Amino acid sequence: MKRILIIPILFLTTAFAGSPKIDSTRLFIKLKSGANMPESQLILKSKHLFKENYILTTTDAQSLALELAANRDIISTENNYYADAKQLPKEMHTKANDPVMNFNAFNDPKAGRVWSFASAAKNGVSVDKSYLSPLGLEKEEIIVAVVDTGVDYNHEDLKAVMWHNPGEIAGNNIDDDNNGYIDDVYGINTMDKDANGNSTGDPMASHSHGTHVSGTIAAAQNNNVGIAGIASNVKIMAIRAVPDNADETDADVVESYLYAAKHGAKLINCSFGKRLNEGGMIVNETIDHIGQDYGVLVFAAAGNDYGRNIDSDLVYPASFQSDYLLVVASTKKSGGLSWFSNVGVKNVDLAAPGSDIYSSVPGNRYAKMSGTSMATPTSVGVAAEVLSNFPQLGPKQLKKVLMNAVTPIKKFKKKMAAGGRIDLYNSLQYTLENYINL
């Protein structure tokens, strides 16, 4: 008889939610080119986002939207929606009889617990194999933004791989690089605003989620401490935009994406999502904008609504249409899809290990977590290592490599576009062999 599984509750969505909650203090507007910012007593502040898009701070977003509807200088307005509260994946502590694998590429004492490092035949993504037979190329440093619940940047296995804003001096209460953020040394915190309503500069973790995601991508390899991340020459930019109840807003997501792109991130990990959107397109436009103008590829979790098809039953940002978005489903150690993972042959691109993933959590600890939240950084880690070896790849080329080089799995054919599990070894070999044709 099989052992009884204790199933954690994750990404618990509010199945009977009504319309999404609207932020009454902010409104997005699209201004006609060359037009002046409209004047209204309801507007407290305006901030340019990109192209014709602005965000207004207001005393009453709904009244302002009504007022601007008649203004010929305004192409459109869009509310700032909340995601709706839900539960993030929880830490599951390891058990004495949890299997420990033998990986030869790393000396990190707990790396053997990261089962996804195994070969494709053992349902992993061939991390160990890739490092044991390196291509011999000089690897470029890749900046990865983790837009999440913040990161414990003092963690013993993360502190060496944290991105540092080169223009910012820590702790002097001055915005040294004049980017609008004071003391943003590791990234920003859109969950914490200063007296002027600006996001603050300390993305220290609140929930363990973002620290776990970061370790999977980038935990220091071969330092004889903890685990190893999948990528070897990567820096984590920490952006806290997801509150502990996962009720993030579109405005904070847009701000995070723009910050990441402008400060050099080439990959963005988005292990969050929401079910309701009501036509809001600003996040989708931002993904296209940073893809086209900054060469960024955004990775989004397919979501954990127990096999929901996100082609017909949409979730965001995963169901947005963009060449610069890669959407990830979750697999388990036995090779199949995780019981919770969403699917969609059109909107889900590929799958990656996401069940029982062992990684770093705040306070120099390590724990397992499960979710498409964990499958996403597994893919980002693979992508970062490929990009590090082949830094000339653009975001669309990188997406093509990762999708074409999956380990094909028959059962996945009708569930996601690439029909298989991401694989580091195959992706590196595929790029090497097809480089001139990509």
User: Any idea how long the chain is?
Assistant: 438
* Closest approach of Ca ion to the CB of residue 160, in Å: 9
**Among the listed residues 353, 157, 158, the one whose alpha carbon sits nearest the alpha carbon of residue 238:** 158
Burial class of 97 by CB neighbour count within 10 A (0 to 12, 13 to 18, 19+)? exposed
The residue (of 43 and 188) whose beta carbon lies closer to Ca ion is 188
Q: Cα separations (Å) of 209 from 148, 240, 299?
A: 7, 11, 16
Task: Identify whether 148 is a catalytic site residue.
Answer: yes
The residue (of 257 and 366) whose beta carbon lies closer to Ca ion is 366
CB atoms within 10 A of CB 312: 10
Helices (H), 295-394: 372-389
**Among the listed residues 380, 412, 190, the one whose alpha carbon sits nearest the alpha carbon of residue 299:** 380
* Closest approach of Ca ion to the CB of residue 242, in Å: 22
- Return the DSSP state at 12: B
Catalytic residue among 148, 184, 250, 423: 148
Question: What's the token pair of residue 327?
Answer: 């959407």
* Nearest-angstrom CA–CA distance, 280 and 354: 29
* Nearest-angstrom CA–CA distance, 294 and 23: 29
The residue (of 139 and 155) whose beta carbon lies closer to Ca ion is 155
The residue (of 181 and 390) whose beta carbon lies closer to Ca ion is 181
* Closest approach of Ca ion to the CB of residue 178, in Å: 7
Instruction: Give CA angle at 183 (180, 184), nearest 5°.
Output: 70
Catalytic residue among 155, 207, 209, 289: 209
> What is the DSSP track for 221-287?
TTSSSS---S-SSEEEEEEE-S-TT---BHHHHHHHHHHHHHTT-SEEEE---BS--TT--HHHHHH
Catalytic residue among 256, 322, 338, 373: 373
The residue (of 40 and 179) whose beta carbon lies closer to Ca ion is 179
Chain residues binding Ca ion by CB under 5 A are 108, 157, 168-169, 172, 174-177, 179, 181, 183-184, 220, 223, 225-226
CB atoms within 10 A of CB 16: 5
3 state DSSP class of 381: helix
* Closest approach of Ca ion to the CB of residue 366, in Å: 10
* Closest approach of Ca ion to the CB of residue 227, in Å: 6
Q: Helix 282-294 vs helix 250-262: angle between axes, to the nearest 10 degrees?
A: 0
Whether the CA torsion 208, 355, 162, 274 is positive or negative: it is: negative
C-alpha 349, offset from chain centre: 15
HSE-up of 421 (CA within 13 Å, CB side)? Answer: 31
The residue (of 60 and 175) whose beta carbon lies closer to Ca ion is 175
* Closest approach of Ca ion to the CB of residue 112, in Å: 12
Question: What's the token pair of residue 173?
Answer: 């209460």
* Closest approach of Ca ion to the CB of residue 77, in Å: 30
* Closest approach of Ca ion to the CB of residue 422, in Å: 22
The residue (of 132 and 170) whose beta carbon lies closer to Ca ion is 170
Q: Cα separations (Å) of 200 from 194, 195, 395?
A: 6, 10, 29
Q: Which helix (H) or strand (E) holds 200?
A: strand 199-200
Nearest residue to Ca ion, scored by beta-carbon proximity:
108
The residue (of 184 and 250) whose beta carbon lies closer to Ca ion is 184
Task: Identify whether 289 is a catalytic site residue.
Answer: no
Active-site residues, by number, are: 148, 209, 373
